[in-house]
Every structure is written in C-alpha cells, then in structure tokens.
Chain A
Amino acid sequence: MTFETRVKIRLWVAIIFLVLGLLLMAVGFWGSVEYASGLGLGFCVIGVARIRQYGRIMRNRDRMKQQEIRETDERNVMLWNQARSLTFSFYILLTAAAIIVFSLLGMEPWIRLLSYQLIAVIIIYWICYWVIVRKH
C-alpha cells in the first residue's frame, strides 16, 4: 500500500469521525442522551482537525514526501516502539501497585475490576506476541 493511499484512507476515517460527531451532536440536542452532544463535539473537532491536516498533505507533494519520511524513519519508529513498550511496563506496575493499595483498603470491587483488566491485558499481550512471532 502506497503512502498516498494510506493518507486517503486516513482522510476518509476523519470524514467518518466528523459525520459521527454530527450525528452524536444531533442525538444530544434532540434525543435523551445527555453526554452525546459533548462526545459529538469532540468527534467533530478531531474530524475537522484531521481533515485539514490530511487535506494539506494531499495537496502538496513535498509535504506528503516529508510526512512519509517522518513516519517511516527507522529511528522514529524505534522511539515510538520504545515509548509504547515502556508505557506498557509502567501500566502493569501501576495497576499492580493499585491492586495492592486497594486490597489493603479493602475495596473489593476495584480489586476485582483492576485484576480482570490486568489479566486481559496480559492475555492480549501473549496473543499479539504469538501473532508477531509467527510472522518472523
């Protein structure tokens, strides 16, 4: 898939975001769901910002090339992956710490919720690992 196609797909996703946002705002204004208009406004803002960003990239070849280089640059990719990996490690540690604190405070529902979440994340990690390992 070329980078131009990828940008086009992102542009369509942004348009979908905008349409979804408008629909949610309409539901919020005329429907009974209170939080929908706020959520819709958020979707609209993200959608408009993304449409502007990708529209500018699509109109300018040099800008598109620069963006492609920025996104495929191996050092950038390494930095993103390292940051993500570190975030995951911190997330696991913080959640484990929170479970210990909540268990000392006797907050049973929170312990159960966090434990299930932690187990789910670890299972997802192993599934991802298994899928990636098969590719390489």
Chain B
Amino acid sequence: MENRIKEFRKEQGLTQDELASAVQVTRQTIISLENGRYDASLKLAHRIAAFFETTIETLFVFEEERI
C-alpha cells in the first residue's frame, strides 16, 4: 500500500528516528512503511495520522485489489 509518510515527515523536518519514537515503533518499521514493504495495522495507521494531525485516508493510499 502506498503512503505519504515520508512526505509528511519531511514537511515537518523530522528524522525517521524521531517519528519512530513519537509513534512508539522501531526505526526499521518507519523505513519499511516508507518503502511500502510493510502495511501498518489500523492502530498504527491511526497513531501516525494523529501524530501528523491528518486523516488515515490522506496518509494512506488505498487501492482496490486487482484480481
């Protein structure tokens, strides 16, 4: 799933480490999320969205599953 975490993080001038500490995950998780290798759970997605004061829909790009 695509997301705009990197964009939001850079806008606020945060490092991956700082964002990781703020949302209580490891830096590796932030890296994987930004690279699109890992999809956040609803709980984490909510935490990140709340941290950036935005909505989950703005932060995460949901695409319809292609079969």
Interface size class of B (residues with CB under 8 A): 10 to 19
- Decide if the interface of chain A is mainly helix, strand, loop or mixed: helix
A28 to B21, CA, bound (A): 49
Is A69 interfacial (CB-CB < 8 Å)?
Answer: yes
Closest chain A residue to B25 by CB distance? A73
Is A59 interfacial (CB-CB < 8 Å)?
Answer: no
Please report which residues of chain B, range 21-61, place their CB below 8 angstroms from some CB of chain A when the two chains form the complex. Answer: 21, 24-26, 28-29, 32, 38, 40-41, 43-44
Is A117 interfacial (CB-CB < 8 Å)?
Answer: no
CB-CB under 8 A from A74, the residues of chain B are 25, 29, 40-41, 43-44
With both chains docked as a complex, state the minimum distance between the C-beta of B17 and any C-beta of chain A, in angstroms. Answer: 11
A72 and B24 form a contact (CB under 8 A): yes
With both chains docked as a complex, state the minimum distance between the C-beta of A34 and any C-beta of chain B, in angstroms. Answer: 45
Q: Which of B21, B26, B41 contacts A70 (CB 8 A)?
A: B26
A19 to B58, CA, bound (A): 56
Q: Residues of A at under 8 Å CB distance from B? A: 69-70, 72-76, 78
Q: What 8 A-B pairs are tightest by C-beta distance, nearest first?
A: A75-B29, A73-B26, A73-B25, A74-B41, A75-B38, A73-B29, A69-B24, A74-B44
